Amino acid sequence: MRFLACIRYDGSEFYGFQKLKDHKTVQKELEKALTKINKKEVLVKGAGRTDRGVHAYKQMIHFDLDIDISPKSLKKAMNSVLDSSIYVNYCELKPNHFHSRFEVKQKVYEYKINLGTYDPIINDYCYNYNRPLNINKMKKASKYLLGYHSYEAYVCGKRDHYNTAIFAIKMKLQKDILTITFTGQNFYQYMVRNLVGALIMVGEEKIKPIAVKEMLDKEKNIYNYSNAPAQGLYLMDIKY
């Protein structure tokens, strides 16, 4: 039987999602727990990989089990044996051809920046930037990033192509925490963190809002922005 599971995790406890031989990762812990439940090796496929330190509220995974178990009972069993930094939100049965990554229609990420006083308590869960940004200019710049484009200037690593669509970028400031929400078709390696890094440069007034479009058009990081730290990033939702 093929199952889809929606999970959340504290990324500060892991070396990312993808399984690594000598490090604790989300995929590794999931496979260990499911193999124990199934009494036979289980391989987990994720809707995407999150880097070390990145958190998730709704990461999606699929896997196959040999045992006869209901989604409700599976959720309970998984949560009873999983590492305490991972929690299963729900499970559901899927057809055998379903794939958690290939059938994704939309992803939502949030990035949190503390513009106020340094707070060590939230250091693993927010970018302690600790100084003001020109949010109005950042909002203006974000409009240039919307639509279907090649985002090569904002992606790390080599790919066959860098094309995808960003449907919306929203910013909200609440009690010194700036939350930037990205909704798009798909996001490639470091893409959200790179976009945030470029927007921060705009907010610092080191570059003009139009500069993010120049980088988009030239497909190159011509203004030498730095990618934002991992701990401020959250995978919020995945839709099929």
As annotated, the active-site residues are 51
Interior CA angle at 159 toward 158 and 165, to 5°? 125
The number of beta carbons lying within 10 Å of the beta carbon of residue 105 is 9
Cβ atoms of 240 and 105 closer than 8 Å = yes
Cβ atoms of 164 and 109 closer than 8 Å = no
Give me Rg for the CA atoms of the chain. Answer: 19
Dig out the tokens for 65 from the structure: 């089990």
For residue 113, give the H/E element and its range. Answer: strand 106-114
CA dihedral for 52, 57, 62, 67, sign (positive or negative): positive
For residue 5, give the H/E element and its range. Answer: strand 2-9
DSSP one-letter code for 133: -
CA distance 91 to 87: 11
CA distance 55 to 199: 21
Dig out the tokens for 124 from the structure: 């693993």
What one-letter code names the amino acid at 19? Answer: K
